[in-house]
Structure 1
Amino acid sequence: MTRPEEPGRQHAGHMTPEEFREHGKRVVDWIADYLVDVEKCPVRSPARPGEVRSALPAHAPERGADFDAVLADMERIVLPGITHWQHPNFFAYFPANASGPAILGDLLSAGLGVQGMVWATSPACTELETVVVDWLAELLGLPGHFRTDGAGGGVIQDSASSAVLVALLAALHRVRKRTGSAPRPVRYTMYVSGQTHSSVERAGRICGVGTDNVRIVDVDPNTLAMDPRQLERLISADIAAGAVPVFVCATIGTTSTTAIDPVRAIGEICRSHDVWLHVDAAYAGVAAICPEMRWINDGVAEYADSYASNAHKWLLTNFDCGLLWVADRQPLIGALSALPEYLRNTASESGEVIDYRDWQVPLGRRFRALKLWSVIRWYGAEGLRAHIRAGIAMADEFAALVSADPNFEVLDPHHFGLVCFRPLWTETDPERADELTMRLMESLNDSGDMFLSHTKVRGRVVLRMAIGAPATGMSHVRAAWSRIRAVRSQFA
């Protein structure tokens, strides 16, 4: 059924600056009110499939409506279909922080409407980005060759998925330059563990390596970290079979359990076979802003060819803002550079500027650096460290509460803001026990009071409690634990 158009002033013209000022103030007030009241909302949207779509008109309106109608539909139709990632009881996935400074920085970026494909299209878009990626490299304790005034440099991607894709393209370019033209087709291989993010395998498919040539390396059964000895065996076997190993992805903080691969041991193997080492620290890498956490990057300085971490997860910067650093920018630029006549300009041809179009898959790029710059300026290093430390401390206390209860167990080790745990059941059949665990989680999530997710470890279902939203305090964590225990008792 086609819903009638909303009442209100009809128009077909551009929004005037005066109208923008009026409605813009209302939107900012709306966002501020939302952040204040988000805790009153059910964490997970109760919407059923198709419910939002059915509430919208089947066809685009012929005549424009006043912005009042847009905001009214926002509250009436859109908001009930939102899962509230900024809710203090959102524990399902790694945080997607949306802080005030980041939102305002994004608004400034949208208002400027910059298309920063090359330096000449907006010098500040490029140069502010080089500054903030260098700032963050320093704050994380990354090596000097990852800085833009070194051999490599940093760039803001949309996500770690794009980061691994361009890193793989750079690795393929480097190995092709090394091997030159081959008398027969070359079979390239790449290496991940069973805990590695699925985006790495997708990158292999996109780049033509193919799923069949993505090797799955065993993990240590206790730590779930990649086994370097098996990595060496797989690489050696592929070389003996005539393949060319091109890429290894080591993870610092896997998505499933935040396991940490032994980067140094993996790096030594990569160095001995001249294989590109990419370090995926999408979630956990920003923890190294705290000096006491920099141990997670052991081996990165000596061996990593590329390193990715997302500011939009745990560093108070709203999506999308993924960072990629490379130790040597030349393979990256060599893989991605293409200069049509309409983009030629004096600055680019001088070699004195960075054109970030050569550091990513798409040509166009938004002014993402503004929101990261706003966050770093507002919080400072001290404020960012305080946020990370608070998340770790709350996770530690939650793990202690779970460990003290004989009806639950914690999967150790946990290093960051994620705690994996599971209820213990009198049921001895593993499949039945896993079914009860899933029913427990679904009951908690359906209540609207909180939102958890699950994974499988050693074939068993475990629950994931991810802590890190700016609004989350220890009172929310303790209340969540009380609710988990209460619901578990109903299933006992």
Structure 2
Amino acid sequence: MSGHMTPDEFRRYGRQVVDWIADYQERIESYPVLSRARPGEVLEALPEHPPERGEGFEAVLADLDRVIMPGITHWQHPGFYAYFPANASGPAILGDLLSAGLGVQGMLWATSPACTELETRVTDWLAELLGLPAAFRAAGAGGGVIQDSASSAALVAILAALHRADGGAAGRDGIARRHTLYVSSQTHSSLEKAARIAGIGAANVRIVDVDPATLAMDPARLDAMIAEDAAAGALPVLVCATVGTTSTTAVDPVAAIGEVCGRHGVWLHVDAAYAGVAAVCPELRWINDGLDGHADSYATNPHKWLLTNFDCNVLWVADRAPLVGALSILPEYLRNRASESGEVVDYRDWQISLGRRFRALKLWSVIRWYGAEGLREHVRTGVRLADELASWVRGDEAFELLEHHPFGLVCFRPRWDGLPDGEADAATLRLMDRLNASGDLYLSHTKVNGRVLLRVAIGAPATTAEHVRKTWQRIREEAAALA
């Protein structure tokens, strides 16, 4: 078995793998959502040393069931509510398989023109589907690029903003003065991590106050902080506004924040990692308010709620020049006539790494399979089921609801009458642990104004109204047992 797999062997085992995946999707509800494996259990079941001789693919498939599956938490399970969905659909899986089969390394246009040009087209398609500003289309000064995640998109945006703010001095000579970045307490932690990597430093990530009721960034406070920092000699670089925060799906006032950024000449990055794809539905396109004329960069994740398996983030910029200026390095071995002609895009200059997978194939496959109608129906289903759950929570005097729930996330907790906040928080966490131990569902929690809330994020393709109804019934029963 030490030789290469022949095309005939690939056909035989490939059919088995596709059948295995299809069978898994059919029976996914039979698994406990949360893996029951204890720490080190999978490791102990794996040989300590690699095989000297090839074992054949039958052994791999056997160990997939015996060793790997007990250690899997099932993200596609209809009872998976803990985090934002990580949709994996048939078209996306097949698109990823085609990408793997082609084995393209699309760092330059010349290394596979189709890899680059399909990405250009499909990111324009998505911009159209979401109703994004024309500035983000490839025909102008901006354009879109597929990154692995919103974390990478944030880092790339910071580097572009830094390049624009200091004329490329930091990239050339290093950061010689204090640079500042602005987020709220609800902004994803990836922004602080990106600031560390970029050399800005966590201490220079400024936390802007939020409205206690809406958890949205306060533009007036942002304005004052930028002015204060600039007066003290700092160079404000970037503000991150969020559309759909991880904790509660709060929405920052992008238009007002954009006006502040415009007055101070600061880059505005909008992180819509989870909620941005909801704009495929015209009735949810209000989330785009303020983008046009204000946003320098915008990122959303089709790999969360748009039926495209991980990893697939799309980052758009209104002007690609600072991005390419910050990231372009051209060693001799990458020089080629197409790049030097100026007629092509080399997406290696739009990301951190040089190498690029052919990710556009899976997004292309999804858009073509579902069409705009199918994508809208999927998002609308998640919103509708979340609205139903929220109405049940609102109507039950034993529970309290966080009223902001425009998408697929519902945050709430039992009232725990008579318990002080600390004990009520502990009781809520005990309830979550009991629910997660059942095997039927998986929830997570957050803190809002110092109080623990349960999070139920709806959006898996397999989740139906009946699943949500049973989940609510289980929550009520377990809460009553603990009261």
Instruction: Indicate the TM-score class for this superposition, using the shorter chain for normalisation.
Output: over 0.9
List 4+ stretches of structure 1 deviating above 3 A: 178-182
Q: CA deviation at 1:179?
A: 8.3
Separation of aligned partners in 2, 1:374 and 1:427: 54
Match of 1:322 in 2: 313
Q: CA deviation at 1:426?
A: 2.2
Q: Structure 1 stretches of 5 or more lacking a match?
A: 1-10
1:264 aligns with 2:255: yes
Q: Write out aligned runs for 1:65-464 (5 A).
A: 65-177=55-167, 185-464=176-455
Q: Structure 2 stretches of 5 or more lacking a match?
A: none
Instruction: Provide Cα deviations, 1:157-194, integer angstroms capped at 9, x if missing partner.
Output: 00000000000000000011188999x93210000000
Match of 2:459 in 1: 468
1:77 match: secondary structure: helix
1:301 match: secondary structure: coil
- Equivalent pairs counted in the alignment come to 481
Percent sequence identity over aligned pairs: 70
Separation of aligned partners in 2, 1:216 and 1:370: 39
Residue type of the alignment partner of 2:2? A
1:27 match: secondary structure: helix
Separation of aligned partners in 2, 1:163 and 1:426: 44
Residue type of the alignment partner of 2:383? I
Q: Is the 8 A contact 2:163 2:169 kept in 1?
A: no
Q: CA deviation at 1:146?
A: 0.4
Separation of aligned partners in 2, 1:341 and 1:400: 62
Residue type of the alignment partner of 1:322? N
Separation of aligned partners in 2, 1:390 and 1:302: 32
Q: Choose from 25, 40, 47 the match for 1:57.
A: 47
Separation of aligned partners in 2, 1:109 and 1:214: 38
Q: Choose from 475, 479, 482 the match for 1:484.
A: 475
1:78 match: secondary structure: helix
Separation of aligned partners in 1, 2:404 and 2:194: 29
Report the TM-score when normalising by structure 1.
Answer: 0.97
Separation of aligned partners in 2, 1:225 and 1:281: 14
Separation of aligned partners in 2, 1:213 and 1:489: 46
Separation of aligned partners in 1, 2:319 and 2:17: 43
Residue type of the alignment partner of 1:304? A
Q: CA deviation at 1:427?
A: 3.4
Q: CA deviation at 1:428?
A: 2.5
Q: CA deviation at 1:429?
A: 1.4
Q: Write out aligned runs for 1:11-30 (5 A).
A: 11-30=1-20
Q: Is the 8 A contact 2:300 2:313 kept in 1?
A: yes
Q: CA RMSD in A?
A: 1.2
- More deviation in 184-193 or 370-379? 184-193
Instruction: Provide Cα deviations, 1:100-135, integer angstroms capped at 9, x if missing partner.
Output: 000000000000000000000000000000000000
Instruction: Provide Cα deviations, 1:275-310, integer angstroms capped at 9, x if missing partner.
Output: 000000000000001111111111101200000000
- More deviation in 91-100 or 142-151? 142-151
2:239 match: secondary structure: strand
Match of 1:6 in 2: none
Separation of aligned partners in 2, 1:18 and 1:55: 31
Separation of aligned partners in 2, 1:239 and 1:110: 49
Q: Is the 8 A contact 2:168 2:326 kept in 1?
A: no
Q: Choose from 22, 34, 38 the match for 1:32.
A: 22
Report the TM-score when normalising by structure 2.
Answer: 0.98
Residue type of the alignment partner of 2:150? A
Separation of aligned partners in 1, 2:125 and 2:113: 18
- More deviation in 364-373 or 295-304? 295-304
Residue type of the alignment partner of 1:39? E
Q: Is the 8 A contact 2:147 2:313 kept in 1?
A: yes
Separation of aligned partners in 1, 2:417 and 2:52: 63
Separation of aligned partners in 2, 1:225 and 1:142: 22
Instruction: Provide Cα deviations, 1:330-373, integer angstroms capped at 9, x if missing partner.
Output: 00000000111111111100000000000000000000000000
Instruction: Provide Cα deviations, 1:247-285, integer angstroms capped at 9, x if missing partner.
Output: 000000000000000000000000000000000000000
- More deviation in 337-346 or 371-380? 337-346
